[in-house]
Structure 1
Amino acid sequence: MTEAAADEQARQTVEAAVRTQLSKALGGLRGTAESAVPTVAFTLTWLLAHDLRLAVGLSVGSAVLLLAVRLAQRSTTQFVLNSLFGIGIAAFFALRSGKAEDAFLPGILYNAGYSVAMIFSIVVRWPVVGFIIGSVTGDPTAWRENPAVVRLCSRLTWLLVLPCVLRVLVQYPLYLAGQVGWLGTAKIALGWPLQLASFAAMVWVLTRGRTPMQEPPAAPAAPVEDGDGEPGARPAPGE
């Protein structure tokens, strides 16, 4: 890295770096819709026909159709592939047990595990958002040397944890009760809308501060002049 690039990186703020990464993660309105369509297809089909195989088939089929459109347009397939992967696991759980509510169990387990992992990262002072900073600077761990960055990343990680915890608290009782319709509604309502609200809260936090990506170097101590006006060593106490 050149000296000019290093100076530019030092002037960059943590807030600006995280905002950039969040904008990439959102995927826009299209990415949001692609993540919701398979769940809508599954829930509506189950409520109307009470046919598990048909509901799974239409759900997976809708995700495959979205993927085909992406491939035809030669646009990014990241978000629809994530959706297809998720609905594939959900279909496996549901078809294996024969219970429609089991299609929602992987998501509940995922959010529970994600919550535990992120809270643990905060407790041990390795908040997961800090690794976003590492991806920008090229050094995955240097951000921990700046206490201000660690505190900011901990606050942002809490904002990522809260939606996951809320999903588990709402969806798990519905799962135990076998309320497939309400599970589907909750999954959609607490999915991207809640995630967008979480990101909005993070952006609000980020717009209020300007935490340097790196701590500025300490200024060298000024030399002490002796009685003749020449620089000299600072006298020791008692001299």
Structure 2
Amino acid sequence: MNQSPAVQNTEAATDAEPTLLEQMGGLSGLVSSTLPILVLIPVNNRLGLLPALAAALGVALVIAIVRMVRKENMQPAVSGVIGVAIGAGIAWYTGDAKGYFLYGIWVSLLFGIVFLLSIASRWPAVGVIWRGINGEDMSWRKNKIALRMYDLATGAWAVVFFSRFFVQNNLYNQDATNTLAAVKLIMGWPLTGLVTLLTVWAVRRANAAQEEAQSHG
């Protein structure tokens, strides 16, 4: 039986949702991203900086190899290895384990600024990324409701990025390395999961607004 265009669009939007989760690496990607930090701090406290950095990088490489053997999405693993390598390089250069977190702190600020500017320019990053991933056009920018929904989701991500920067940078300046590691984990995937739920809701509202506009067009 033929389905109406609205039903087909709704199903397409629903099918698109896992794409974002896949880009995040799925549940295994969320869990494995925390392991290098969980290894870094205790090894640093017991054995020192260089063994800690070697252990963190080794864990990231093992995760990448496991994902490759299991033929899983390699993007999160590769990004993880690169991120750990950059963090380890900064920590080695500064001679302090807290340097491991410096890269992530400033990347959060950069993303926060980019997402905020994208709202101001009426090209909200969440809309551009979501539609781009799914190979769709940018006609949603002409729909006030859809644009507002993507602005909301983009603004939520900007808040997350800025909060990560200000909280973690403050702990970094206080030399509170152990607390910084714990806070990074707390403000990592758990917070990402919450804002992703908001993003999915906003995208559904944006899709519904687009469908309604097209049905009346």
Q: Which residue of 1 aligns with 2:134?
A: 136
Q: Comparing 142-151 with 91-100, which one deviates more in the overlay?
A: 142-151
In structure 2, the CA distance between the partners of 1:16 and 1:71, relative to structure 1 (3 Å rule), is closer
In structure 2, the CA distance between the partners of 1:142 and 1:205, relative to structure 1 (3 Å rule), is closer
Q: Which residue of 1 aligns with 2:165?
A: 168
TM-score, scaled to structure 1: 0.78
The alpha-carbon deviation at position 10 of structure 1 amounts to 9.7
Distance 1:195 1:213 in 2: 28
Q: Comparing 12-21 with 85-94, which one deviates more in the overlay?
A: 12-21
Coordinate RMSD, CA, aligned = 2.7
Q: Any unmatched runs of 5+ in structure 1?
A: 220-239
Distance 1:75 1:137 in 2: 22
Q: How many residues align?
A: 213
SS at match of 2:210: coil
Q: % of aligned pairs identical?
A: 25
TM-score, scaled to structure 2: 0.86
Q: Which residue of 2 aligns with 1:44?
A: 42
The alpha-carbon deviation at position 60 of structure 1 amounts to 0.1
Which of 93, 108, 111 matches 2:108?
111
Higher RCO (CA < 8 A, seq sep 6+): 1
Q: Which residue of 2 aligns with 1:60?
A: 57
Q: Which residue of 1 aligns with 2:123?
A: 126
SS at match of 1:126: coil
Q: Which residue of 2 aligns with 1:189?
A: 186
* Structure 1 residues 141-163: Cα deviation after superposition (integer angstroms, max 9, x where no partner): 33222222211110111122222
Distance 1:184 1:163 in 2: 17
Distance 1:106 1:25 in 2: 21
- The question of whether the paired residues in 2 share the 8 Å contact of 1:127 and 1:157 is answered with yes
Q: Name the aligned partner's letter for residue 48 of structure 1.
A: R
In structure 2, the CA distance between the partners of 1:160 and 1:17, relative to structure 1 (3 Å rule), is farther
Runs of 4+ more than 6 Å apart: none
Higher helix residue share: 2
- The question of whether the paired residues in 1 share the 8 Å contact of 2:29 and 2:76 is answered with yes
